[in-house]
Amino acid sequence: MSVQSRPQDKGYTPPTTGLLSLLPSSWVPFAELMRLDRPQGYYAFYWHYLIGLSFAACDVSDSCTPFELLVLAAYLGLWVIVLRGSVCTVNDICDQDFDRQVARTRFRPLARRAVSTTQATVFTIAQLFVLSLLTLPLPTSSYIFAAATTLALSVYPLGKRITHFPQVILGLAFAIPIFMCWAILDRSTDTGDRSSRSVSALYWVSTFWTVIRDTIYAHQDMDDDAKAGV
């Protein structure tokens, strides 16, 4: 029996519009793992990069031209697609048992068993490899922040198992691109105390914004989460 026709798929409706409707049926679960059918979440990732780039471009003395900034923003937009895809796949691997008990998430690919855990793990590794390749053209000073973002977002799904405040972990992770974008644009060796304070302040503002947003977002699953023991 194919993964697309298993009994666990009962109630699932394959996409009939949008990008996923154009893909071969065997590709659809993997596109869903990457959340390519849900661009709203992409913006939650990407806006931190846009804010970080804009802020750094205004404050870094040896910055880039407007055209270079647009090219960099577009490139990071592609980078974020793969980043989001990889960490969302990790999230689904970790939370598949919980997802089956929550109305909003019970038709995710792993929850409905459209793909196996092994397939999802291999897919995650492939995405991380592509993400690493996409990181190479960026300044080496940004690598540590790229790695920290990926690691922190991958750990986030485990946060709900050890704390009642996983949104804090998500907020701290989502805001790391503020530092990453600063490192990409700052070509000098001396940024000064004022610049360090300003970028740190923006980091904490971005952190708190995500904590507030995700706390509000999480309320839609409150009843199901309580039943599932999350």
Please report whether residue 21 resides in a domain: no
| Cα separation, 206 vs 139, whole angstroms | 23
Mean pLDDT lowest among 34-38, 97-101, 143-147, 201-205: 97-101
User: What stretch of H or E contains 142?
Assistant: none
Q: Calculate mean pLDDT across residues 214-218.
A: 79
Condensed to tens digits (0 to 9), the pLDDT of residues 165-214 reads 889 999 999 999 999 999 998 755 455 555 678 899 999 999 999 999 88
Which stretch of 1-15, 25-39, 109-123 has the lowest confidence by average pLDDT? Answer: 1-15
Is 11 inside a domain boundary? no
| Residue 193 domain boundaries | 26-219
Task: Assess if residue 14 is contained within a domain.
Answer: no
13 lies in some domain: no
Q: What is the number of structural domains in the chain?
A: 1
DSSP for 50-64, please give it: HHHHHHHHHH-TT--
- Is 143 within the bounds of a domain? yes
Write the CB contacts of 212 (distance below 8 Å, at least 6 apart in sequence): none
d(CA 116, CA 36): 19
Tokens of 3: 């993964």
| Confidence grade of residue 4 (pLDDT, cut at 50, 70, 90) | very low
**Residue 159 located in a structural domain:** yes
The domain that contains 73 carries what CATH number? 1.10.357.140
User: Does 1 reside within a domain?
Assistant: no
